[in-house]
């Protein structure tokens, strides 16, 4: 054996790399093959044994491997004919068998419990038994959990917990697991029970769950470690917040609201202060005109003008409202000097012209992605000249989606010396085929946006127009290159 393998730090790093193989799908790696490798290493020599056993048992999917250590159950568990039915006929573990079951449980760090099939085997286990004393992460996928099911799975060491719904046993998880940092609830659950569970947690860093009550929102605002809150529900619900006081989330950096009413989001923003907020996301089913304007205005006043870097707001369905006006969204967000990403898809036209885009790019000097989804055909007020004047101010911009008046060819790329080399994804609305000079559009894209390689039509419009533009782009590229550059990223231009 090479003497380097006797250095514990080197051996640990080798085992870490083995436990996380790169390109697992490409090269056929699986959890099973990785476990077999650690099992072989554990049998190689005494130097490898303990560390290999720690890695072998660190990540567990279900209780089956631990029950396989019980002599009485081993043959039934690993019998292909009975692997899915053996447990329903098996008697609970005896006191002697508990020691076999617990032989390696202290090595488990990350545990997934997909079902309750084996819980009846543990009924005789003393309730004070600490089955997983070093468990860090628990993913509880059991539906309709019974009282007592969770008693062996919530050790004081737990840091991350993910559940399908909130079991009654978890009501006081903060007391049983005082250092829990990440808590995720995937499905709608009883709101009062969820709220009580969250109020027991004192050191959360990341939370993802359905809506909860006002008292819980105020409690979360007092947790100094809280960095991320994501509130989501699969269906739009009426969710009033009663007696919501002003809350200051000192260190919260991410706030995401999905599936709830816009009025709830506005109430949250108006009654909270986010001095450290960097990311805000909101996804709703329907966003009415007045609600959109109110939301944008409230967000501009949320005291995060010096920190907010990412804003993404979208609605899935259009309303029956008809208006000839445009949302003033862009101007509402000019207060955010550190903005890197702005994405708005709200089923209303958003006003943008040459002057406003120039002002925005002047303000957002660090912008990487700027997307205004225009769901309705409307006269474009942004020209090519205005577009490129603004692009000169944002050299880091990589993704842009705006409405451009492609009929007005007001720029000559052969005369201009400017090239924007960072922009890779460009989505623009344009007009009808017969009034667009596709060759001129292709020359502008080719000459001034060298990272743009292909024009695509993603949501309607006139596909033939961009098919012809693609042909011109290909001819222009072939004049300079003998083969297309595979590093250039594809670009989509959306028509309305």
**CB 141, CB 120: distance < 8 Å:** no
**CB 114, CB 139: distance < 8 Å:** no
pLDDT in tens, 87-103: 778 899 998 899 999 99
**CB 216, CB 268: distance < 8 Å:** no
The more confidently predicted of residues 335 and 480 is 335
Sorting pLDDT into bands at 50, 70 and 90, what band is 113?
Answer: very high
Phi-psi region at 245: left, alpha or beta (left = phi > 0; alpha = psi -120 to 50): beta
What's the confidence (pLDDT) of residue 493? Answer: 41
Q: What is the DSSP letter of 225?
A: T
Mean pLDDT of 367-377: 84
Percent of the chain residues past pLDDT 90, beyond the cut: 40
Is residue 495 over pLDDT 50?
Answer: no
What's the confidence (pLDDT) of residue 257? Answer: 93
Query: What's the rounded Cα separation, in Å, for the pair 284 and 306?
Result: 26
CA-based nearest residue to 453, from 490, 426, 413, 496: 490
Of 154-163, 374-383, 428-437, 446-455, minimum mean pLDDT range:
428-437
CB within 8 A of 320, min separation 6: which ones? none
CB within 8 A of 205, min separation 6: which ones? 181, 182, 225, 226, 227, 228
Choosing among 3.40.50, 3.30.565, 1.20.1530, 3.80.10, the CATH entry for 62-210 is: 3.80.10
Is residue 24 over pLDDT 70?
Answer: no
Mean pLDDT computed over every residue of the chain:
84
Mean pLDDT of 338-359: 93
pLDDT in tens, 462-471: 557 667 877 8
Mean pLDDT of 316-339: 84
Sorting pLDDT into bands at 50, 70 and 90, what band is 431?
Answer: low
Residues of the chain with CATH 3.80.10: 62-210
CA 59 to chain centre: 23
pLDDT in tens, 373-420: 877 666 778 999 999 999 999 999 999 998 888 788 888 888 888 999
What's the confidence (pLDDT) of residue 427? Answer: 81
What's the confidence (pLDDT) of residue 378? Answer: 67
The more confidently predicted of residues 286 and 3 is 286
Is residue 322 over pLDDT 90?
Answer: no
Query: What's the rounded Cα separation, in Å, for the pair 11 and 123?
Result: 40
Mean pLDDT of 158-183: 92
């Amino acid at each position: 054996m090479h003497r380097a393998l006797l250095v514990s730090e080197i051996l640990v790093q080798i085992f870490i790399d083995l436990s996380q193989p790169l390109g697992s799908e490409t090269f056929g790696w699986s959890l099973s093959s990785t476990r077999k490798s650690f099992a072989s290493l554990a049998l190689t020599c005494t130097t490898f044994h303990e560390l290999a056993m720690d890695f072998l048992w660190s990540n567990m999917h279900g209780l089956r491997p631990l029950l396989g250590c019980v002599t009485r159950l081993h043959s039934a568990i690993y019998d292909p004919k009975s692997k899915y039915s053996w447990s329903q006929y098996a008697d609970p573990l005896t006191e002697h068998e508990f020691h076999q079951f617990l032989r390696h449980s202290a090595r488990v760090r990350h545990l997934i419990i997909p079902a309750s099939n084996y819980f009846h085997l543990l009924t005789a286990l003393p309730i004070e038994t600490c089955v997983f004393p070093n468990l860090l992460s628990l993913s509880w996928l059991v539906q309709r959990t019974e009282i007592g099911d969770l008693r062996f799975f919530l050790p004081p060491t737990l840091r991350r917990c993910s559940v399908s719904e909130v079991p009654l046993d978890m009501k006081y998880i903060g007391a049983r697991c005082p250092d829990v940092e990440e808590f995720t609830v995937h499905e709608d659950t009883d709101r009062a029970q969820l709220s009580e569970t969250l109020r027991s947690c004192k050191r959360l860093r990341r939370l993802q769950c359905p809506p909860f009550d006002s008292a819980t929102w105020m409690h979360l605002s007092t947790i100094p470690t809280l960095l991320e809150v994501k509130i989501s529900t699969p269906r739009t619900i009426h969710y009033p917040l009663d007696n919501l006081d002003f809350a200051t989330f000192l260190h919260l950096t991410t706030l995401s609201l999905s599936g709830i009413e816009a009025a709830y989001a506005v109430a949250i923003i108006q009654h909270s202060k986010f001095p450290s907020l960097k990311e805000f996301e909101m996804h709703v089913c329907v966003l009415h005109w007045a609600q959109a304007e109110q939301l944008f205005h409230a967000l501009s006043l949320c005291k995060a003008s010096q920190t907010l870097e990412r804003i993404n707001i979208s609605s899935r369905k259009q309303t029956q409202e008809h208006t000839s006006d445009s949302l003033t969204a862009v101007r509402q967000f000019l207060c955010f000097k550190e903005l890197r990403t702005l994405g708005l898809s709200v089923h209303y036209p958003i006003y943008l012209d040459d002057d406003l885009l120039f002002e925005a790019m002047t303000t957002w000097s660090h912008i990487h992605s700027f997307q205004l989804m225009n769901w309705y055909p409307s006269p474009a007020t942004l020209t090519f000249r205005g577009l490129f004047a603004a692009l000169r101010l944002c050299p880091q911009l990589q993704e842009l989606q705006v409405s451009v008046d492609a009929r007005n060819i007001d720029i000559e790329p052969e005369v201009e010396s400017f090239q924007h080399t960072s922009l890779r994804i460009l989505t623009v609305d344009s007009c009808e085929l017969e009034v667009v000079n596709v060759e001129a559009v292709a020359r502008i894209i080719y000459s001034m946006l060298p990272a743009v390689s292909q024009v695509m039509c993603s949501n309607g419009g006139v596909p033939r127009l961009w098919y012809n533009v693609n042909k011109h782009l290909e001819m222009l590229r072939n004049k300079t290159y003998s083969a297309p550059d595979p590093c250039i990223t594809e670009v989509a231009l959306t028509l309305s």
